[in-house]
Structure 1
Amino acid sequence: MPKIKTRRCAAKRFSVTGSGKFKRRRKNMRHILTKKASKRKMQLGQPALVDKTNEKAVKRMLPYA
């Protein structure tokens, strides 16, 4: 049976935590940062977990994660 290819775009965006959940970056931190509050920017800088509804799709894209 051949190896399953990993989706490289997903491999660069998600990482696996110790408990097996997927970690992701938040959006809205690329540009137009002057109008966003410092508190909001700090919170957006923190990583987030992938939602349960999307976890199956991410797991399919990363077969060896």
Structure 2
Amino acid sequence: KIKRKHAFHSHILTKKSTKRKRGLVGFTVVDDTNMDRIRLMLKF
């Protein structure tokens, strides 16, 4: 499994609710449909 960070948590945080921002904290797992592409990028 490959972990990744959540998107949309770096700027313009004023219009996002606290609940939404809290949900974007931490890591999630890369989906199986993207796994082959990610492995090619992480080859080295």
TM-score (norm 2): 0.81
SS of structure 2 residue aligned to 1:45: coil
TM-score (norm 1): 0.59
Aligned Cα root-mean-square deviation (Å): 1.3
Flag structure 1 segments of 5+ consecutive residues without an equivalent: 1-20
Q: Which structure 1 residue ranges, 4+ long, deviate > 6 Å from structure 2?
A: none
Does residue 21 of structure 2 align to residue 49 of structure 1? no
- Larger-Rg structure: 1
**Pairs aligned (count):** 44
Identical amino acids, percent of aligned pairs: 43
> Residues of 2 paired with 1:61 and 1:31: CA distance?
26
